[in-house]
Structure 1
Amino acid sequence: MDPVDLEKLNSLLEHDVGVNEKIKEQVKEFDKKIRIIVGILGKIHSTPSGSMPQLIESVQPVLLSCREITAAIADVIPRDQFWRWKDSWSNSIRAAVFASALIEYLRTGTLISLARVSSEILGIQDEWKDRFSLPVEDYLHGLITMVNELARYSVNAVTLGNFEEPMKISAFVKELFSGFIMLNLKNDSLRRRFDSLKYDLKKVEEVVYDVSLRKLAVPVK
């Protein structure tokens, strides 16, 4: 092999190693923030409904600070190489979507859109689209994780005396499940995780049945 070609190849390899190390550094910081966020949100299972707004407010600044990480990652990725590197931070992004979606549900009882998570929460800009963006698949993975958490929350809410919450969760999850059914899920891991929604929905419905049977709350229509 020509020495000049070898030098060029080595240069390209060294550049890739440099990019990889910079990405790892930022993802490490991203994961630190995510651990804090998930740790705070884990308290919803032992927090009375009256104290929930304060809990949500406490996690919001940490979640919004993730914008600094997304900007730093976007700055590192070469043009037109998003799909080459995206797997490096996909788990972190999915966790951020999960947190955003759970907070939105707890605050408003509604579903946060992909566009809002991308721009308002993570601060992802349109001009980054060839370097950093929020893929639909990662958004959907985050929503499934949220439903997993809500199924657990429906049980613990009853323990805390909040008998109306399982009813609200049931109506919300059913609507979300109906939306997933209409999607053409070709991604294997996403399709497998979608199957878990059936079990979560069943778990919530069992809680609703028990609460309704004891006439502790009226189902949401």
Structure 2
Amino acid sequence: MDSWDVERLNELLEQDVELREKIKEQVTDLDKKTRNMVGILNKIHSTPPQSIPGLLDCVRPILHSCQTTTAAMAVLIPPSQLWRWKEMWSNSLRTAIYSAALVEFLATGKLVSLQQVSQILGIKDEWRDRFALVVEDYLHGLISLVNELSRLAVNAVTLGNFEAPIQISIFVKDLFAGFSMLNLKNDTLRRRFDSLKYDLKKIEEVVYDVSLRKLAPPPTERKLTSNSGEVKQ
């Protein structure tokens, strides 16, 4: 290896280090925003139903501010290098997806679609080889949503909201049925999906107690739909 090769390799290494640091700065910014959103959304467990819209109004501006961060990262990542750098922001992005999904459910009772999350976070199709919202991250975000809803089913009863567990049960059952039809080969995703059975069981126990005590009317079966009106299979 001659001196020119060594010099060139050192130059490439320095470029990688510099790029990594720039990406890390944007990931740190996204982390701050997602922690802020999660902190606000955690208050739903002690907030009466009539005050939930006020909480969501606090979260939405932060959620939409993520568009600035995703745009900055898309500019940094070289073409065709999505999978080289993706792990740096996956956890933060999944938390942002979870936040968007929880806001949508609390506001409309519906499932936010992959396309809608992309729009909310400002992720554009033309970035697909640099910065994209991949299906795996979307599904991880939805599993986190179910984890949180199983907590909410219990805490809603404590606050005297006896219909919430029934609404959550219908939503989660439909979502679980959709997950069951997916061919999940990723080990981590598969294990997290298997854990949904425990969340579903927890929700069903709450619904059983509420129904047994006749604290709420029996649930009306309905399809889980996105805002676009498409049935999620």
Q: TM-score range by the shorter chain?
A: over 0.9
1:210-221 map, 5 Å: 210-220=209-219, 221=221
Q: SS where residue 131 of structure 1 aligns?
A: coil
Aligned Cα RMSD in Å?
A: 0.6
Aligned to 1:7: 7
Aligned to 1:54: 54
Aligned to 2:184: 185
Query: Displaced runs of 4+ in structure 1, greater than 2 A?
Result: none
More helix per residue: 1 or 2? 1
Correspondence 1:41 to 2:17: no
User: Tell me, which stretches of 5 or more residues in structure 2 are unaligned?
Assistant: 222-233
Instruction: Give the alignment's TM-score, normalised by structure 2.
Output: 0.93
Aligned to 2:27: 27
Contact 1:101 1:111 in 2 (8 A): yes
CA distance in 1, matches of 2:141, 2:96: 7
Aligned to 1:112: 112
CA distance in 1, matches of 2:218, 2:65: 38
Instruction: Give the alignment's TM-score, normalised by structure 1.
Output: 0.98
Deviation at 1:117, TM superposition (A): 0.2
CA distance in 1, matches of 2:192, 2:218: 27
Correspondence 1:170 to 2:169: yes
Task: Write the letter of the residue equivalent to 2:65.
Answer: S
CA distance in 1, matches of 2:36, 2:5: 47
CA distance in 1, matches of 2:125, 2:167: 35
Deviation at 1:4, TM superposition (A): 1.1
Cα deviation per residue 1:92-125 (whole Å; 9 max; x = unaligned)? Answer: 0000010000000001101000011012x11011
Q: SS where residue 171 of structure 2 aligns?
A: helix
Aligned to 1:203: 202
Contact 1:208 1:219 in 2 (8 A): no
Cα deviation per residue 1:17-44 (whole Å; 9 max; x = unaligned)? Answer: 0110001111111101111100000000
Percent same amino acid among aligned pairs? 67
Q: SS where residue 65 of structure 1 aligns?
A: helix
Cα deviation per residue 1:137-191 (whole Å; 9 max; x = unaligned)? Answer: 0000000000000000000000000000000000000000000000000000000
1:58-77 map, 5 Å: 58-77=58-77
Aligned to 1:102: 102
